[in-house]
Structure 1
Amino acid sequence: MENQNKKKKGFEFPTAFTVLFIILILAALLTYIVPAGLFAKLEYNADTNEFQRIDPDGNVSTLPATQETLDNLKVTMKVEKFLDGSIRKPIAIPDTYEEIPRSPQGIIDIIMSPIKGIMDTVDIMVFVLILGGIIGLINKTGTFDAGIAALSKRSKGKEFLLVVFVCSLISLGGTTFGLAEETIALYPILMPIFLASGYDAIVCIAAIYMGSSIGTMFSTVNPFSVVIASNAAGISFNDGLTIRIISLILATIITLVYIYNYARKVKKDPKNSLIYEDLDKIEERFLKEYDPDNVAPFNWKRILILIIFLGAFPVMIWGVSKADWWFPEMSGLFFAVSIVIMFLSGFSEKEAVNTFIDGAADLVGVALVIGVARAINIVMDNGMISDTLLQYTSNIIENMNGGVFAVVQMILFSLLGFFIPSSSGLATLSMPIMAPLADTVEVARHIVVSAYNWGQGWMSFITPTGLILATLEMVDVTYNKWLKFILPLMGIIGIFAVIMLVLQTMLI
């Protein structure tokens, strides 16, 4: 009997923490294999109106902030982009790569990196914990349950319109201002609605996460990726804009069709769900208080609480896109909203505070995943192998055929995106090196920008160093189930991106 139980239980995929630690160890091993190296970096100092050049050996020198300086360094961009703040991060100077003494990351480095990662991402973690607290408060007031019941009655038979609306709206946010980390706030709100509509957690993840991923992958005017990359490549972000808009629309449609086919199967028979064995556990977490036959009335107080909470999102979007907000400001916004909801809830002071703390405690695991994911980047940065990988990739694509050049660049950028998950960081590091290579094969530089954006965005569908593991931890879905769902779509979108890249090379 004991053997039968063990057999029935079978293999259990490891948690997000174990997956991240395995990758962390592999990253540390790479620092023993890949030579350490650095490009010289150029940074603009607004206080002194000078360039600072940081050589691989650490020597710092000052240079006049002029176009002549950039031309002499073979940095093919306009000096105005530094002066007006368009380029804020240090850029790599072409033809300056040097190998430096290795800095292999050992056991102590591996152990300390998650601690440093948590310290580096404390702003994001505070945002997540405050979000958990506010969700706990709203749940206890019965607001979400009442809202779900009201929405279910109105959307009967039209449930997939919610998927279309959510995915398209988030995709629009991703393509315009890089909406990504902010979407973490949406899962606790939308998950109960999707589950009550007859879908599973994967449909909810796909609508939110893939909306963001498609939007940021096929960015049109996102200042944190395509605009910075275009500036660093020495071109206007309007170059190639038309093909990027067309690609965004088509990729969003492809994604929605893929989600629809899966959602239809799940709605027809829950056994078709990739997470069927976990449905009870997930519903217990997100619908434990929800009884469609016994729901509290959606009265004025609950409507007001929901309006105040949802009203924080357009304010957050305005802050991020227009007022230079980041996680501290977003956390402050939601903390203020939580205080207002405490007063509206009618709870006693002790009950309100304890409910907030309990809600925050529910997302501690998610917050820690974010910190551990950052540890992988810390190990690679300290091992100083990122610039070496960039040097290797630039050597691979020299003197290629135009179409092959574009496709291989996309593949290489997808690999670099795993090691350098920051879109702005990858752009400022790689574009001064990669963009001039386009001239040697008679390819427009905006194609290199597309290859960068599409390659990095494509890898973000699955890269554990990005947001996906934190997302999966939030909704109790294991990484292998996500891979099973997303890999076919990843293949389709990858082929589509390749076709669009080749078309771009044919249109110039």
Structure 2
Amino acid sequence: MSGFRFPSAFTILFVLIAIVAALTWVIPAGQYDRAYNEALGGDAPVPGTYHHVEPDPQGWVDVLMAPIEGLYDPFEGTAQAIDIALFVLIIGGFLAVLTRTGAIDAGIGWLLHHLKGREILMIPILMTAFAAGGTTYGMAEESLAFYAIVIPVMIRAGYDAMTGVAVILLGAGIGTMGSTFNAFATVIASNAAGTTIQDGLILRFVILVLSLLAGIAFVMRYASRVKADNSRSVVADQMAEHRRHFLKAGGADTLPEFTRMRGIILLLFALTFAIMLWGVITQDWWMGEMSALFLGMAILVWVIGRFAKETSFGEAEFIDTFIDGARDLLGVALIIGVARGIVVVMDNGMITDTILNALESLFGGWGEIGFINLMFGVNVVLSFLVPSSSGLAVLAMPILAPLSDFAGVGRELTVTAYQSASGWVNLFNPTFAVVMGGLAIGRIAYDKWLRFVAPLLLILAVIIMASLSLSAAVLDPTDPAGPATSAPTATETPAAAE
């Protein structure tokens, strides 16, 4: 139908809250007994102890209160959603201050200038850089600013606009798909699943490296073929028009100068994520400490930038920039509460365990390998409905993660299956603004993007599913040192013994 627009994630999630509230009137109320799980550091449902309880159907007041309560509702006894939302806002402010200094743009300009005549090397270097942004802070909308820089350079080098779009969209997208400690995917999902981002870190890193190598090889092969024969371009019929349009932009010629101070700021940027990883792994940092780190680094970047004329801006501009950056991510922060509201209604209506019990029966008997691949498939479907990685994490993990206990699979494997599925779908999801925005800037039709990226999508799916399968097969879920968590047994609770 002409003029139809797919509803936003907020609308979808709020409708789901209302639907779930209606279901509390018809789905039988029930609960599992809970027992302390040492590997999780909290209570977990005990298999075989499901029983019916007194129903508590939810009304319209409960629907309206759900997003509010969602922000204060804890994830498996760990951080509250509001802690994560605050962390997201502070990261937004930090990234805005960093961008205001011009350090990132200057760094890209310096790279492009020094690779003249060796432009093919820009592909692995830039894709790795964008993947670093994706795996650490879920680089998405921020990548849109780089299309006007990279595409003209790629066209001048003899490639096409598709190459420039692929470098950015696949680089950042594969990084997000292989998130190691991405605050908007891995951190939120780990909280919702009752695990930490240390759990399963090695597997996620392996998926990231293998997928990135496959993506780089794919784009380099395509770019080399296009340079040798322009007729082999997916957008061969548009290349003349693309040259006229994009070469007016100037590419790297319009970027700020790369100075020593901007180089120091880029080092601080990398150091911030290194410190965060060190703190989380060795010092048991979580939301409060990580928020303080990014706030402190935002101030430090501004203070250091004050020593150089080209990066200097005043105290008032610093505050305004930080607030503007936080405002840009306000939607991400709020969607965490809205998505969590669905789980609040389910919990209050006493149907969460009923649904879990039904899924336990449905997914039972698949074995570890079948189960984890089924989790990947389920999250692929859900990702089309909820393209927001943070929204999907809060929505899906409280239900899917406990299923891992029943299947004898570590919860962090389910977290990895979720984030891999979400990232994979968002490489081509037509409801994802970053995909459609990037293609619009590159003047590339969606069907041509699908034709270009389809072989790589198949390769990435094989990498993900093979990695998940191997991990599920060889890792012992009862070993606290491994990336899996132990499932509680029926003997851990008096109720179960009865």
TM-score w.r.t. length of structure 2? 0.61
Q: Paired residue for 2:358, among 392, 395, 400? A: 392
| CA offset digits 1:425-481 (Å, max 9, x no partner) | 97787555433434xxxxxx46x86455224421343479x9x95866997969x95
- Counterpart AA for 2:373: V
Q: Does 1:151 align with 2:135?
A: no
Alignment partner of 1:91: what SS? Answer: strand
- For 2:275, the equivalent position in structure 1 comes to 319
- For 1:129, the equivalent position in structure 2 comes to 93
- For 1:441, the equivalent position in structure 2 comes to none
- For 2:235, the equivalent position in structure 1 comes to 272
- For 2:137, the equivalent position in structure 1 comes to 181
- More off after superposition, 155-164 vs 32-41: 32-41
- More off after superposition, 393-402 vs 247-256: 247-256
| CA offset digits 1:82-106 (Å, max 9, x no partner) | xxxxx35553343346564233567
- Indicate how the Cα distance of structure 1 residues 248 and 105 shifts in structure 2: closer, same or farther if over 3 A, else same: farther
Q: Paired residue for 1:459, among 422, 427, 435? A: 422
Contact 1:113–1:375 (CA under 8 A) maintained in structure 2: yes
- Indicate how the Cα distance of structure 1 residues 163 and 372 shifts in structure 2: closer, same or farther if over 3 A, else same: farther
Q: Paired residue for 2:15, among 11, 26, 34? A: 26
- Indicate how the Cα distance of structure 1 residues 13 and 486 shifts in structure 2: closer, same or farther if over 3 A, else same: farther
- Counterpart AA for 2:300: A
1:448-487 residue pairs with structure 2 within 5 A? 450=413, 453-462=416-425, 484=450
What number of residue pairs does the alignment pair up?
423
How far residue 333 of structure 1 moved from its aligned partner, in angstroms, is 0.6
Alignment partner of 1:102: what SS? Answer: coil
Q: Does 1:309 align with 2:270?
A: no
Q: Paired residue for 2:404, among 424, 434, 446? A: 434
Alignment partner of 2:116: what SS? Answer: coil
Q: Does 1:207 align with 2:171?
A: yes
1:36-435 residue pairs with structure 2 within 5 A? 39=31, 73=35, 79=38, 81=39, 87-88=40-41, 90-94=43-47, 95-96=49-50, 100-103=55-58, 109=64, 121-138=85-102, 144-145=105-106, 147-165=107-125, 167-168=127-128, 179-181=135-137, 183=139, 187=143, 194-198=150-154, 199-201=163-165, 203-216=167-180, 249-260=209-220, 272=235, 292=253, 298=257, 302-323=258-279, 324=285, 325-345=289-309, 353-354=316-317, 357=320, 361=324, 366-384=328-346, 387-400=353-366, 404-412=370-378, 433-435=403-405
2: distance between equivalents of 1:275 and 1:102? 58
- Indicate how the Cα distance of structure 1 residues 105 and 98 shifts in structure 2: closer, same or farther if over 3 A, else same: farther
How far residue 407 of structure 1 moved from its aligned partner, in angstroms, is 3.3
2: distance between equivalents of 1:173 and 1:229? 24
RMSD over equivalenced CA pairs, Å: 5.8
- Indicate how the Cα distance of structure 1 residues 111 and 451 shifts in structure 2: closer, same or farther if over 3 A, else same: closer
How far residue 290 of structure 1 moved from its aligned partner, in angstroms, is 6.0
How far residue 169 of structure 1 moved from its aligned partner, in angstroms, is 6.7
How far residue 411 of structure 1 moved from its aligned partner, in angstroms, is 2.8
How far residue 317 of structure 1 moved from its aligned partner, in angstroms, is 1.6
- Indicate how the Cα distance of structure 1 residues 366 and 237 shifts in structure 2: closer, same or farther if over 3 A, else same: closer
Alignment partner of 1:314: what SS? Answer: helix
Contact 2:93–2:323 (CA under 8 A) maintained in structure 1: yes
- Counterpart AA for 2:460: I
TM-score w.r.t. length of structure 1? 0.60
Question: Where does structure 2 lack aligned partners over 5 or more consecutive residues?
Answer: 72-80, 155-162, 280-284, 476-498
- Indicate how the Cα distance of structure 1 residues 316 and 403 shifts in structure 2: closer, same or farther if over 3 A, else same: closer
- Indicate how the Cα distance of structure 1 residues 371 and 180 shifts in structure 2: closer, same or farther if over 3 A, else same: same
Identity rate, percent: 12
| CA offset digits 1:13-53 (Å, max 9, x no partner) | 859xx5223322432243145447675585xxxxxxxxxxx
Q: Does 1:494 align with 2:461?
A: yes
2: distance between equivalents of 1:265 and 1:216? 33
- Indicate how the Cα distance of structure 1 residues 244 and 475 shifts in structure 2: closer, same or farther if over 3 A, else same: closer
- Counterpart AA for 2:420: G
Question: Where does structure 1 lack aligned partners over 5 or more consecutive residues?
Answer: 1-9, 43-72, 82-86, 439-444
